[in-house]
Amino acid sequence: MTRSELPLHRRTITVTAYAEGGDGISVEAELSDVRPWAQPPADVVHRMVLAVRVRLADMVVVHADADMRTFPHAECPLITPVFDGLVGLSVAAGYNRAIQDRFRGVLGCSHLHELARALGPAVVQAAISANAGLRYAGEQSHDPRSTAGVLNSCHIWAPNGVGLRKLDAGWVPGTGPRPVPPLKTFEGREPGTSGA
């Protein structure tokens, strides 16, 4: 297979989370579609941002804002208020189905829909990071099993998977080396010790 060194298209999605005062986080997702072969201003096709604020206690979106910074048609931004419909959604349960029902196809914008899809797992990971940061600072975090919010997301977090068994054996997320050692490292240790 041969290919040109100059890409035809480059899509970049970045997601960044920030701690909010009190019991929340804000998460901003940005999508950029670029044609590296084109000259400015035709090189950037899309640049769109979807930002949410989430209450950590129940993982519910309490604020949403969609912004189109670069777009192909003058009418594109008219759809951004629809994404206020993220408010009230739980990122922990039924999120993917809800965004499909509310924003897919002609109900929304395919690019902002893509960002909404990316936000779900990123918010869950950011919540895990927020709890790990609290524990690392010696502060009380949410439920120490809050990592179980990723239940059924992969083989580690299967209902009887090694992630939950490590938690039960005393692993404290955010402590110890990376990667987290095997389960046998934690078995028989005092709860709350990393085993490393």
Q: What is the pLDDT of residues 38-49, one digit of tens each?
A: 999 999 999 999
Answer whether 138's CB lies under 8 Å from 157's CB: no
Q: What is the predicted pLDDT for the residue at 54?
A: 95
Q: Measure the CA–CA gap between 112 and 76, rounded to whole angstroms.
A: 11
| Span 114-136, pLDDT tens digits | 999 999 999 988 888 887 777 66
Per-residue pLDDT tens digits for 145-166? 455 466 777 898 888 889 888 8
Q: pLDDT digits over 72-125, tens only?
A: 999 999 999 999 999 999 998 789 999 999 999 999 999 999 999 999 999 988
pLDDT of residue 190: 57
> Among positive and negative, which fits the CA dihedral 52, 56, 59, 63?
negative
AA identity, residue 135: R
| C-beta separation of 50 from 29 below 8 A | yes
Residue 107: name the closest of 131, 79, 143 by CA. 79
Decide if pLDDT at 27 tops 90: yes
